[in-house]
Structures are given as C-alpha cells and as structure tokens.
Amino acid sequence: MEENRIETEVETKQYIVVNVGIEQFGIDIKYVDNIVRMQKITRVPKAQDFFRGVINLRGEIIPVMSFRRKFGLEDDTFTDKTRIIILKPEQQDSIGIIVDMVKEVLTLEEEEIEKHAQDGKDEKSKYISAVGKNNGNLISLLNINGIIQKMI
Amino acid sequence: MDVSQYLEIFIDETQEHIQTLNDQLMIMEQEPENPDAINEIFRAAHSLKGMAGTMGYKRMQHLTHMMENVLSEIRNGKVGVSAMLADVLFQCLDAIEGYLANIQESADEGTEDNEAIIRQLNNILEADGQAEKEEEAQPAKEEAPKKEPEKIIFAEFEANAIREAFEKGMNVYDIQVVVEESCILKAARAFLVFKAIEENGEVMKSIPSVQDIEDEKFDFDFRVIVISKQSIDKVISAIKNVSEVKDASGVQITSYEEEKPKAPQTAAQPKQEAAKTEMAKTESQPQKKEEKKPASGGAAKAGGSKPVVNRSVRVDIEKLDVLMNLVSELIIAKNGLVSVSNTENGVISQGFNEQIEYLERVTTNLHESVMKVRMMPIETVTQKFPRMIRDLNKKLDKKMELTITGEDTELDRTVIDEIGDPLMHLLRNSADHGLEANSVRVQRGKPEIGQIRLDAYQDGNNVVIEVKDDGNGIDVEKVKNKALISGKITQEQADGMNDKEIIDLLFQPSFSTAEVVSDVSGRGVGLDVVKTKIEALGGDIEVKTKLGEGSNFIIRLPLTLAIIQALMVELGDEKYAISLGSIETIEDVMPDEIKYVQSKEVIHLRGMVIPIIRLDSVLDIVPAEEVPESYTVVIVKKGDKLAGLVVDRLIGQQEIVIKSLGKYINNNNIIGGATILGDGEVALILDANTLL
C-alpha cells in the first residue's frame, strides 16, 4: 500500500513531525512502527551513551536511544508529552527514539523538500537528509538509516 | 508410480547406509582382511542399489551396482584390498553423497554419470578377468517356501464384520502377498498393496498387523483379509500391478472361525505365539542366510544400530521453534501470576498458591520436554570426521589418528547445525599446523603417529568440546613476530602482552602462522571464523597450549538457548539475572575477609584464592554509602576459573526467558541478554563468562 502510494504520487511524502528543544524534526512515516508514551527504561550498563536502555514493548525488548543525546543537545527532561517513537527500519530490528513531543503528521510535496547539503566534517549533519518547508516553518527531515547505520 | 512420499525415508536410509559405508571402509582400510567389514560394505552397497532402483535413480543404481560387483569379488577373495581400491571406493562414496545431495535438493539425482569412477571399477574387475560378469553379482534368489495358509481365527468384532459382509452379499478373500526379496522399502511396497486393495475393497485384517507391516516387521509375505464386491481375480491383479510384488494368491472365505468370546485370551494366544515364533525364526535365521539377503530391512542396518521398534515422528524444526516460543510466553505469564500472588496482600488463599506452584511445575516440565525434543547427539556432526582425517592423512602425508569420545552428548538442534564447520576447522588446524611431520616426531622422541582427540562432555549448563592434539603446540614467539611483521601490533604492545593475549591474536581476522599456505589450512580464514561462529551460538573458545607438547582448543556452548534457570540479584535499584549454570556457591563475606593480592581484591575460601569483582563498579552503579556488615558474594565459575561477584541483595531463583538486546547496543557482551519479569519490568542477564 505504502509503496504504491509513493510510486503513483511521487511528489508527496508523509512525515511525523516531532519537537526536540526549539527545533522540529520530520521522520518519514514508513519507518515508524509505533509511538508510545514514556515508560520505565531499564538502563544497560556500558552501552553507548546515547542509549537510555531497553523497554518491554509487548514482550519484545527494544533498545531506546535519546534523540537529545544523539544530537549532542541538553539531556532529556521527561514530561507527560515525552514520547518514544518506535522505528522499524527495513530488514532491521526495531529501535526506539525519545522525543520531547509529537506534533503532527505532515504531508510534504516535492518542491517543499530541499536536499540538505552534506557537510562531510560534521558527523551530525549526516543525520539530516533534507529540510522541509511548511507554512514558513523549517523542519529537518531525519536520515533514519544514517542515524542507525553508525551503530552496527 | 508415485514414490515421492517415500523420498524422506529414502534420504534417511541412504544417509544411514552412506555412514555405514564410510565407517566400514575405514575399518577395511585398516584391516584389509576383516570379513565383517567387507560384508557390511557389500550389504550397504547392495541396499543402496536396491533403494535407488526402487526410487528410479538410474545413475545412482548403476554406480552402486558396479560397486557391488567389485565388492562381491573382494568378498569372494578374488580381488585383494589395496590402497588404490579403497581410494576408488571412497570416491564412489563421495559420488553417492553427491547424488543424495542432488536428490535432497530437487528430488532428482542430477546428470553426473561419474564415468571416471565407473571406469576405474571396471578396470578393477577386468584386472581380475571378471569384467563380463555383468549380471547381478547377488546370489541367486531363494524361492520363498510356499506356506500353507494357516487357519485364521477372528476376533469377535472381526467376525461381526465378516458376517455383515456376507449379509450384504460382499465377498471376503484371504490373500497371500509375497514381495520380491530384493525389494528394499518393504513397508512402502506393502503400503502400495494396501492402497491397491482399498481401491477395490477394504482391508479388514492383516497378518502381521498393519503396525508391524509399517515397521517392516515381516519377512517377505503377509496375509490380508479383504472385503470386496469385486471378483478375487480383479483384486489380485490389482495387487500384482504394484511393482516388486512377486506373487499374490488367495481364496474366498465362506466360513469363519470365531474366537470364543468367553476365553478371548487363550484363543488369541496360540495364534499370537505362532506369529511370534515365526518372527523370531526370521530374525534368528543363520547369519549365512542374512548375507544372502542383504536387502531385508533389518540386516542392512549395520550392527543393529537402529532399535527394532522405532516410534518416532518427523517434525519440522520451525514447528518446534513455534512451540518453544509458546512455552516462553507461558513461562512469562506464569512469572506474572507468581509476582501478582506475591504482591497482593493476604487475600490470596492457600489454594491459589498451591495452584501456582502446580502451574510452575508443569511449565518447568513442559519446557524441559520441549528442550529435550530439540536435542540431538553431537554424533550427527562428528561422524564425518574420521573420514576427513583419513583424507588429510593422505593429503598431508602425515600419519595421524583421531579419537572421538562423548559422541552421545546432546546439544540443541540449532547448535548442532552450526557447530560442524568450526569443529572441522579446528581439526584441520590440528592436523595441518598442530601435528609435526612424522620424521620430526620421531626425532623428538614422540610416537610416530600423531594423535588428535575430540572430547565432548556436559559441564553444568554447558557442553564442552575439546579438540586436542599432541603436536608442536603454539609457538608464542612466532605468533608475536608474525603479528609484528604484519603490523597487527606494535613493538610496545607486544612487550606488554602476556602469552595468553598473544595466543588470542590467532583469533583475529586473517591471521595465520602457517608458513606455507596449503589448501587444507593456512589462509587465515580459520580461527576468527570459528570464534565468531561460536560466539554467535552464545559460547566461547579458549586455547591451552604448551610448546612441543600440543594444544587444546576448548569450546564451551550453552546447553539451551532460550530458557534458563537464573538467580535474580539486586544492585542498587536494578535487577540482574545470573545463569544458575555458572554459579558455584553463594557466600556471606565479612568486609575484613577481603584481602589484597597484587592490589586486587580476593577472598580466601576453602583453600582457594578467589578474585572479587565489584559488580557495582563494573556496571556503573552508584555504590551504597555505608559499608554493609557483610557482603553477599556469588561465586561463579568458568571452566576451572572462579570469581566472586559482590551483589547487594539476592531476590531468588527464577526460570527466565532469554531475549536478545538486539545488535544496536554494544556493551562488550557483559550483558548477555534481557528477560521480562512477571511485572513486565526488564531485567538484564549478566554473562558471567565475560566477567571472568
């Protein structure tokens, strides 16, 4: 279904828009498996520092990372708006990512998406694939594979 | 004729025969005069020929037929066993394996004619002037003595059925079916006969019973009582249409003798006994006869390796995986109930607790049973090794012997499937790098023939497999130099490394100390692959070596993969599980009992000095402010090494389901996985092996 839509209407893509700090980020909806409320995270000692630990999602153990830690921002403060977005990249295990809040689902047309210039030196710029423009707001679109690949 | 449903039986039996051939050829090579070995080989080849013929695999049939001819000459003493001959026979074996591999893949034997091998076989025969002996080397078939049909006594319900048939105007026939003696899959034939009959009527009774026929517990004939509307000729011709049925004859039954209902036992007994003695007769027929009839199911199985009654069901491993997952879920649910019953205040009645305990027992037993179903003896992997060593013997021109012990040690099926290659690598390594050339061995005062051992045994919750050789051992200096030259380590690093660390370099990718790269080993793709594979199975590998005396690779594998008994401990407010299998004891240790050796904490326990590991600092947990009155120390072991883990509190023993943390989190394997506790919380599983 998803695939079809992308093929027939090449121009639009849907994104989940999340807030982290003062910025807005978009996650391609095809990677999103689930959005869950904040829950008890079991810390995993000696793991990479951007991992907050693992959660039990209906019997599955899912590692959860902090968006803020991954992007080198100020550490999370959990509120009742904090959400864990469960990403399911193709052919790979699920992974959770903590964001401050989920704002909306947004449909962007192709001309509203501007390819992001990759700055080879900055590790973090690889996490962003493009910038979306919507009603004057700028939304950084995440390169999910780029974020995950470094870990494996 | 559709034989596809017998394909699995065929594959199974072929594998068995190939194994027999393999084992016996090895014996024959060692003891060329051993008549038993030659007979066994002949039988196996003959059975293979018959089976291939039944299934319509012409090429395989031809090859085995030629083999049989040669073997027959050997058996008759006309051809002597030579090294060349053994080689050719081994080649045949490989070719048959090739056919089998094709058949397993596509149910077709492929198009390889193996002409070269057949030519060699022919040459052997011709050398003996016996080439024209084309037809069946098999001894003349015995004419099965025609038995006078015994009077059948029917049980009450059978008599009723016959009476009913008479009333309906149906015919009842007593038919004697004889299958050909060369027929291999007798049960399959019988099944086809039954099927043929069922198209024309109904099989009411058979002698021996259907069950026995399915188990091939009959000689070459059986009797069936058939109820049919058709004429007896039609039924018999239908039976005769089944291939490899030698004869079928029968009479119509018009009267019957009913078993006296009053004394059913006594009436039935003589008949049964008669059947039994008859069967006993068949089984105890003199050896000579068995030799002549290698085709008969029982005789073909070398040395009675297969139990007479084999009640088993073939199950797809995936179905077992599903079952295992369900058992896991059940255990999690049960743990949930246990934790509810523990937290709910006093309202829980005693009955509830009893039921929970009962549930606990059942789930534990269920888990154990499912695990057992998945277990297979390691023999399935090791049985191909003697042949491999034999080939290496020739290839490397080194004399060596392989001794295998503990083949009946059982492992989970998934582990069995994966462990073959690593073991093969290690054995090749021992043969190629480990053992010295024979002349060198003699110079060093060692026995000329190199010894390689493979020992498997169970050790607690682990299975240990050791691959040992009495060769040169690992030359630490040589490894160090090699690592320096190849730039794997720097001089400073090398100076700071102890022997063990240097030996561990061998497990790094593309590292080989063999001076000459042979096609046996030395490409450096060996040990690192072995290590990765074993670690993927949740195991580990270590090496013990002494220069000049040999080396020992010790592989440790978990017995089970999914569910373990664990001790739950608490550190700060975090919960961890430690596999019960690695726990030796639990001790209370006073703070002043902790001593320092080389500025490391140790305790002295029953004559042993055991290093102390402070888990809170290993796991980055903020330690408790005050020093407790006494420490709770969990003593864990790995092989012969012990260590004491300091924990805050013990929670208790629990059956836990191991879940993977996934591949994103990288924490140097201190955490072996996670488990879900009864209240839904996640607890991490400490891998004591990596802590040691």
In whole angstroms, how far apart are CA B502 and each of A26, B80, B362, B479, B499? 50, 52, 49, 7, 5
Neighbours of B391 (CB within 10 A): 15
Tokens of B523: 């490409």
Identified catalytic residue from B102, B114, B171, B429: B429
Question: How would you classify residue B63: left for phi > 0, otherwise alpha for psi between -120 and 50, otherwise beta?
Answer: alpha
Q: What pLDDT is stored for residue B2 in this prediction?
A: 58
Neighbours of B3 (CB within 10 A): 16
Q: SS in 3 state form for B110-149?
A: CCCCCHHHHHHHHHHHHHCCCCCCCCCCCCCCCCCCCCCC
- Partnered with residue B221 across adjacent β-strands are B178
Name the more confident of A52 and B211: A52
Residue of B nearest to A148 (CA): B664
User: Comparing B159-173, B287-301, B424-438, B472-486, which segment has the lowest mean pLDDT?
Assistant: B287-301
Angle at B218 (CA atoms; ends B212, B224), nearest 5 degrees: 75
Q: What pLDDT is stored for residue B285 in this prediction?
A: 43
- With an 8 Å Cβ cutoff, is A151 touching chain B? yes
Please give the radius of gyration of chain B, using alpha carbons only, rounded to the nearest integer. 33
Letter string b/e over residues B660-690, b meaning 16 or more CB atoms within 10 A of that residue's CB = ebbebbebeebbbbbbbbbeeebbbbbbbbe
- For the stretch B58-104, pLDDT in tens is 888 888 888 888 888 887 777 777 878 888 888 888 888 888 888 88
Angle at B500 (CA atoms; ends B494, B501), nearest 5 degrees: 40
Neighbours of B457 (CB within 10 A): 12
Task: Specify whether the CB–CB gap between B655 and B335 falls below 8 A.
Answer: yes
3-state secondary structure of B468: strand
Which of A105, A130, A102, A133 lies closest to A117, judged by CA? A130
Answer yes or no: B16 catalytic: no
Which of B197, B204, B198, B210 lies closest to B237, judged by CA? B197
Mean pLDDT of B594-621: 88
Compute the distance between CA of residue B469 and CA of residue B436 in angstroms, rounded to an integer. Answer: 10
Identified catalytic residue from B40, B68, B180, B410: B68
Mean pLDDT of B217-221: 75
- For the stretch B124-136, pLDDT in tens is 777 765 434 443 3
Q: Could you say which DSSP state residue B659 is in?
A: B
- Kindly provide the ipTM of the predicted complex, given to two decimals: 0.83
Mean pLDDT of B563-579: 89
pTM of the model: 0.52
Q: What pLDDT is stored for residue A16 in this prediction?
A: 92
Q: What pLDDT is stored for residue A32 in this prediction?
A: 92
Tokens of B388: 């491999």
Name the more confident of B460 and B40: B40
Compute the distance between CA of residue B290 and CA of residue B559 in angstroms, rounded to an integer. Answer: 42
Instruction: Answer yes or no: do A93 and B680 touch at CB < 8 A.
Output: no
Sheet with strand B574-579: strands edge to edge: B649-657, B563-571, B574-579, B682-686, B671-676
The answer, yes or no, to whether residue A94 has pLDDT greater than 80, is yes
Sorting pLDDT into bands at 50, 70 and 90, what band is B256? low
Neighbours of A62 (CB within 10 A): 24
Task: Specify whether the CB–CB gap between B633 and B603 falls below 8 A.
Answer: yes
User: Comparing A114-118, B286-290, B676-680, which segment has the lowest mean pLDDT?
Assistant: B286-290
Which residues, in sequence order, are CB contacts of A123 under 8 Å at separation 6+?
none
Instruction: Answer yes or no: do B662 and A63 touch at CB < 8 A.
Output: yes
Tokens of A130: 């493009």
Instruction: Answer yes or no: do B663 and A95 touch at CB < 8 A.
Output: no
Sorting pLDDT into bands at 50, 70 and 90, what band is B300? very low
Answer yes or no: B68 catalytic: yes
What is the per-residue DSSP string for B288-315? HHHHH-TTSHHHHSGGG-S-SS------
Q: What pLDDT is stored for residue B338 in this prediction?
A: 80
Q: What pLDDT is stored for residue A17 in this prediction?
A: 92
Interface mutation vs chain B, best among A54, A94, A144, most B CBs within 10 Å = A54
Tokens of B304: 């009675």
Q: What pLDDT is stored for residue A63 in this prediction?
A: 93
Instruction: Answer yes or no: do B676 and A61 touch at CB < 8 A.
Output: yes
Mean pLDDT of B7-28: 82
Please give the radius of gyration of chain A, using alpha carbons only, rounded to the nearest integer. 15
Instruction: Answer yes or no: do A42 and B619 touch at CB < 8 A.
Output: no
Q: What pLDDT is stored for residue B136 in this prediction?
A: 39
In whole angstroms, how far apart are CA B114 and each of A102, B41, B120, B388? 68, 20, 10, 21
Q: What pLDDT is stored for residue B448 in this prediction?
A: 85
Q: Where are the alpha helices (DSSP H) in A50-106?
A: 67-70
Count chain A–chain B contacts defined by CB atoms under 8 A.
73
Name the more confident of B145 and A149: A149
CA-based max dimension of chain A? 47
Q: Is the dihedral of CA B122, B127, B132, B137 positive or negative?
A: negative
Compute the distance between CA of residue A111 and CA of residue B206 in angstroms, rounded to an integer. Answer: 81
Q: What integer best gives the mean pLDDT of chain B?
A: 77
Mean pLDDT of B599-614: 89
Q: How far is CA B473 from the centre of its chain?
A: 31
Sorting pLDDT into bands at 50, 70 and 90, what band is B311? low
- For the stretch B335-360, pLDDT in tens is 888 877 776 665 667 778 888 888 88
Compute the distance between CA of residue A126 and CA of residue B143 in angstroms, rounded to an integer. Answer: 84
Mean pLDDT of B388-403: 86
How close are the terminal C-alpha atoms of chain B, in Å?
63
The answer, yes or no, to whether residue B269 has pLDDT greater than 60, is no
- With an 8 Å Cβ cutoff, is A149 touching chain B? no
Answer yes or no: B666 catalytic: no
The answer, yes or no, to whether residue B477 has pLDDT greater than 80, is yes
Identified catalytic residue from B46, B65, B425, B433: B46
In whole angstroms, how far apart are CA B63 and each of B26, B48, B101, B114, B446? 20, 10, 16, 8, 43
The answer, yes or no, to whether residue B266 has pLDDT greater than 60, is no
* Strand positions, DSSP E, B590-630: 595-597, 600-605, 608-614
The answer, yes or no, to whether residue A118 has pLDDT greater than 70, is no
- Partnered with residue A56 across adjacent β-strands are A61
Q: How far is CA B438 from the centre of its chain?
A: 34
Compute the distance between CA of residue B589 and CA of residue B389 in angstroms, rounded to an integer. Answer: 52
